[in-house]
Amino acid sequence: MLRKLIKKDDRFFRLLETSAEEASRSMQVLSQLLNCPDGAPPVEACAKIRRTDKAITRELMENLCKDMPTPLDREDLEALASTLYKITKLTEKFCERLACAGKHVDNMRLSPYAPMLKDASEVITPLIKELRLLINVEKVKGMNDTLQKVEGEADNLMLSVLGDLYNHEPSPIKIMVQKDLHELVEKIFDRSRDLGNLVFHIVLKHA
């Protein structure tokens, strides 16, 4: 019965997987930017990804409001879609803030986040695709563990950078601007971690 229901409502999985691809793409764009901090922030590229993802999320929510069976609990589908969209939204917001930060981001330590973003981005779409099967608990746990590990590393890096900033930077404005940008990057990792926890919880529930 579950297999028939999943096949019938393939649209939800397709929408989630497409949204995951957009979230992954936004993180890869940000990773490339942080590897080359002297380049112009790709504000329009990130905005386009966010708009595409917003349309996907809207379509999924509209389908959730219809009187039709869903392959997963409605609240789980809504939580997954919302978390994925937040990743693209935060990436766009980071690029917007960076674009208007000017001289206040001179010598800012952002490049160490780049490989972490790349690692997380490579997990997101395969993780969402596991929802079609709902059987690979160990595999999903491994991907979730990767996202938790990356988020922890990013959090430690942010604390280290902020410690240096607070103790050695004389400009209050520069401290405020850079703190804001570091916290936005950290939120992207937080949402990736949340996504991993959500998927793992759903798979455990249905396994």
User: Of the given ranges (18-27, 38-47, 109-118, 173-182), which has the lowest mean pLDDT?
Assistant: 38-47
In the predicted structure, residue 150 carries a pLDDT above the cut 90 = yes
pLDDT bracket for residue 1 (50, 70, 90): very low
Cα distance between residue 99 and residue 132, in whole Å: 39
pLDDT bracket for residue 9 (50, 70, 90): low
In the predicted structure, residue 85 carries a pLDDT above the cut 70 = yes
135: Cα within 13 Å, side-chain hemisphere = 4
At 50-82, the pLDDT tens digits run 999 999 999 999 999 988 889 999 999 999 999
Number of Cβ atoms within 10 Å of the Cβ of 80: 25
How many domains are contained in the chain? 1
Q: What does DSSP assign to residue 167? A: H
CATH number at residue 199: 1.20.58.220
At 86-144, the pLDDT tens digits run 999 999 999 999 999 989 998 888 999 999 999 999 999 999 999 999 989 999 999 99
Per-residue tokens: 5: 């229901």
Average pLDDT over residues 83-87: 98
Domain around 75: 2-206
Number of Cβ atoms within 10 Å of the Cβ of 148: 16
Per-residue tokens: 31: 């990773």
In the predicted structure, residue 149 carries a pLDDT above the cut 90 = yes
User: pTM value?
Assistant: 0.93
Cα distance between residue 134 and residue 205, in whole Å: 9
Exposed, middle or buried: residue 1 (CB in 10 Å: 0-12, 13-18, 19+)? exposed
